[in-house]
Structures are given as C-alpha cells and as structure tokens.
Amino acid sequence: MKIDIGINEQDRIQIADGLSRLLADSYTLYLMTHNFHWNVTGPMFNTLHLMFEQQYTELALAVDLIAERIRALGCPAPGTYQAFEKLTSLAEPEGVPNAQDMIRQLVRGQEAVIKTARSIAPVADKAADEPTLDLLTQRMQVHEKNAWMLRSLLEG
C-alpha cells in the first residue's frame, strides 16, 4: 500500500537512511555501555556501575523508538550486528579498558551519536518531518547531558 504521510518517498528514504545510522550508533553505544557496566573496576566502581546501567537502560528504550520511526517512514529498520557494523561510526573497544578509558570512550561514543543525529536534522527539517525532528532533539539532549556527566568524572 502506498504511503502518504506528506513526505515524499525520496525524503522518507533519505531520513530513514540517516535514522538507520543513528540506530546503529545507538545500538553500538548500548553494547559498549553494557559491556563497561559489567566489567568496570576500581575506586569509582559503584558510581560508574550505576551510571552505566542508567545509560544503557535508556539506550535500550531509545533504539526501539528510532527503529519504529524508520518503520513509520515506510522503510525496513536494520537489526543485525552485520548491518549495524556497516552503518555505525563507532569503533568497538578491544579488551577491557580501565575505568578512565571507559569513560573517555563513552564520551566519544555519546558525541558520535550527537553528530549523527545532528546530521539528519537538515533533511528532516526540509521535509517538514516534525516527528523525526522531535526524536532527534530528544536524542541530542540525552546524549549531550550524558557526555557532560561523563566528562565531569574526568576533571580534577
């Protein structure tokens, strides 16, 4: 059945492609954060263990919202490790870094997701795709706050 939501097919596909990259980045960050939650050690263990849990739990909900928006635009949502690996801008960590390096890698991951989300906004804005713009704004706010909180742990 033809989709007629007031956004032409070419724009819907372009927005969905951007959201697919956002989904891949978000899922990769989710995995990284969950991994670090399980493996963090050191004097900041409790603080980081709880912070990482809060962040990966929020990401688990976010990936569903992103995938559902892709589907609402009439496109298939990527959902495999292979697809995410091709689409993500994040590199997975090797081994188990120390707590400080975990924080640094998560800051970079949060910032990468922000940049990916920001890159989609002009296309969504041009197409008057308010639901996608709203989703992108919410995602950027969450990731900017997370990056700030993580960076704060590295100061002093």
116-135 pLDDT, tens digit per residue, is 999 999 999 999 999 999 99
Phi, psi dihedral angles at 127 (to 5 degrees): -85, 0
Question: φ, ψ for residue 64 (rounded to 5)?
Answer: -65, -45
**Mean pLDDT for the stretch of residues 9-19:** 97
Please name the residue that has the structure tokens 């990769």: 28
The domains located in the chain, with CATH, are 9-154 (1.20.1260.10)
Residues 6 or more apart in contact with residue 39 via CB below 8 angstroms:
96
pLDDT band for position 84 (50/70/90)? Answer: very high
Instruction: Return d(Cα 25, Cα 126) in angstroms, integer.
Output: 23
Token pair of 102 as six digits: 């975990």
Give 2: exposed, middle or buried? Use CB within 10 Å, 0-12, 13-18, 19+. exposed
The model carries a pTM of 0.95
Mean pLDDT across the chain: 96
Contact 116, 25 (CB under 8 A): yes
Decide: helix, strand or coil at residue 41: coil
Is residue 156 predicted with pLDDT exceeding 90?
A: no
Range 21-46 average pLDDT: 97
Q: What is the mean pLDDT of residues 92-107?
A: 95
Rounded to whole angstroms, the Cα distance separating 138 from 59 reads: 12
Mean pLDDT of 90-98: 92
